[in-house]
Amino acid sequence: MKKHEWFYSFKAGFQGLRRHPLLTAAAVTTLSLMLFLLGAFTAISMNANHLSAIAAQQPPIEITMLVSAGYEEVDELAQYLHSHPHVQELAITTPRQNFEQFKEDMGKEELWRDFDYTLSIPYTMSVRLDDPGYGETFREEVMEFTGVKEVLMESRLMALLDTVKSWIRRVGVLVFAVLAVTSAVVVANTVRIAVLSRSREINIMKYVGSTNAFIRTPFIVEGAVIGLAGAFFSSLASALLYNRLLQSFGGQGTFSLLSGPEVISRLIMVNVLTGVLLCVLVSALSVRKYARV
């Protein structure tokens, strides 16, 4: 298509939107709702992943060796943990270091002057994982090593966050599918009405030799504009709501929500890509069906 043909297509596309303002408003509103809910699930999923990563590290998994465990058993387990793909951080504490920490916590060092710590204080290891859902499997793997007494971990919190992430993905996919179909139907009806209202003009363009691309482009422009408008309104609503949530529940501690710019930039990208691609695809298929070009 030539430059003036592109100009005509964009002009005709915007004019088509103005011809049926109620249908355009309905399409934009439905799409905005779909994208808003999609953005909400995206923000929840991002924060769930963020909090799960923190929970996997705070507090760490504590491995306690038997008091009778020798250096070879400790070294064997340490080498295994160093090469483990899910272990992010490993700290080994000797019996003497544990004893010194114990005396410092008790605050009465003179009481333990003649105490033989080697008979009652073992090696310990602190481990941080990158995946909270791997905790129980990791516990079973470590307990198979000789010399290991117990593995302490916040398994309930990790399992809960892992379950939350799984359900968020499932519900998000279901809601997105339902609302995407609804939005597609509304956009398709908008294009159908636009095609029918311009059927005489389309037939004339066919008779004078206009290409299919030239006839279709204005309707595809309409779909793209609806997609951009829906993405704009949904992103604006999502940004305002998320910033309000940050002010109320964001927190400043370890378990804090992700920052506004980080989440909002992702939401804008998801909304624009999803809205424009969905509407352009539906418009292209609809105009091909109803205009038969």
Based on the fold, state whether residues 174 and 287 are members of the same structural domain. yes
Based on the fold, state whether residues 182 and 216 are members of the same structural domain. yes
- 170, two tokens: 């499932």
Based on the fold, state whether residues 47 and 178 are members of the same structural domain. yes
Q: Report the distance separating Cα 94 and Cα 118, nearest Å.
A: 10
Total number of domains constituting the chain: 2
Based on the fold, state whether residues 33 and 76 are members of the same structural domain. no
- 185, two tokens: 């139907």
Q: Report the distance separating Cα 48 and Cα 203, nearest Å.
A: 54
Based on the fold, state whether residues 81 and 98 are members of the same structural domain. yes
- C-alpha pair distances (Å), 247 with each of 80, 240, 250, 252, 257: 44, 11, 6, 11, 10
CATH value at residue 71:
3.30.70.3040
**Which pLDDT score is estimated for 23?**
77
Q: Which of 130, 155, 165 is nearest to 46 (CA)?
A: 165
pTM: 0.61
pLDDT digit string (tens) for the chain, length 293 residues = 566 666 766 776 677 677 778 878 888 888 888 888 888 888 887 887 777 666 655 557 889 999 999 889 999 999 999 999 989 889 999 999 988 888 787 666 676 777 888 888 999 999 988 776 688 889 899 999 999 999 887 655 666 666 776 777 787 778 778 877 877 777 777 777 777 776 777 777 777 777 777 777 888 888 888 889 999 999 999 999 998 888 877 655 556 788 888 899 999 998 998 888 888 888 888 777 766 65
Q: Domain limits at 72?
A: 60-153
Q: From 128, 153, 178, give the residue that closes a domain.
A: 153
Q: From 99, 121, 153, give the residue that closes a domain.
A: 153
Based on the fold, state whether residues 165 and 50 are members of the same structural domain. yes
Based on the fold, state whether residues 189 and 283 are members of the same structural domain. yes
